[in-house]
Amino acid sequence: MKWALLSVWDKTGIVELAQALAEKKYNLMSSGGTGKALAQAGIKYTEVSSYTGFPEMMDGRVKTLHPKIHGGLLGRRHIDDAVMARHGIDQIDLLVVNLYPFEAMSQKQMDLEKLIEFIDIGGPAMIRAAAKNYKDVAVVVDPTDYPMIVHMIREDGISAEQRFDLAKKAFARTAAYDAAISNYLYSISNPFPTTLSMQYTNGRALRYGENPHQIAAVYGVNGIAGTEPIQGKQMSYNNYLDVNAGVALLREFEEPAAIFIKHNNPCGVAIGHDLFDAYITAREVDPVSAYGSVVSVNKEVTKKLAEEICKTFVEVIVAPCFSREALDIMKTKENMRVLILPPECRADEIRTIDGGVLVQRTPSYKEHWEVITDRDPSAHEMKALQLAWKVCKHTKSNTIIFADSRHTLGIGAGQMSRVDSAKIAIEKACASLKGSAVASDAFLPFPDTLEVAAKAGATALVQPGGSIRDKEVIDAANRLQLAMVFTGVRYFRH
The dotted CATH code for 3-187 is 3.40.50.1380
Catalytic residues: 132, 263
Q: Which of 156, 111, 160, 116 is nearest to 138 (CA)?
A: 160
Domain boundaries, the chain: 3-187, 209-340, 370-486
Which among 211, 126, 223 has a CA at the least distance from the CA of 173? 126
**197-211, 288-302, 431-445, 477-491: least confident range:** 197-211
* Amino acid type, 470: D
Report the alpha-carbon distance of residue 372 to residue 375 in Å, rounded: 8
Q: According to the model, what pLDDT value does residue 162 have?
A: 93
Q: What is the pLDDT of residues 326-364, one digit of tens each?
A: 999 999 999 999 999 999 998 899 999 999 999 999 999
Higher pLDDT, 82 or 305: 305
In sequence order, the β-bridge partners of residue 294 are 261, 316
Q: How far apart are CA 82 and CA 85, in angstroms?
A: 5
CA gap 339, 60 in Å, rounded: 47
Q: What is the mean pLDDT of the chain?
A: 92
Enter the pTM of the model. Answer: 0.86
Strand partners, 316: 294, 337
CB burial of 111-126 (b: ≥16 within 10 Å; e: otherwise) equals eeeebeebbbebbbbb
Which band of pLDDT confidence, cut at 50, 70 and 90, is reported for residue 60? low
Cα(285)–Cα(288) distance, rounded to whole angstroms?
Answer: 9
Question: For residue 389, which of 494, 466, 462 has the smallest C-alpha distance?
Answer: 462
CATH number 3.40.1440.10 given to 209-340: no
- Nearest C-alpha neighbor of 229 from the set 126, 144, 335, 345: 335
150 Cβ partners below 8 Å, 6+ apart? Answer: 16, 17, 20
What is the C-alpha separation between 126 and 106, in angstroms, rounded? 23
The reply to whether domains 209-340 and 370-486 share a CATH topology is: yes
Quickly list DSSP for 84-153.
HHHTTPPPP-EEEEE---HHHHGGGT--HHHHGGGS-SHHHHHHHHHHHTTTT-EEE--GGGHHHHHHHH
Q: Is the CATH number of domain 370-486 3.40.140.20?
A: yes
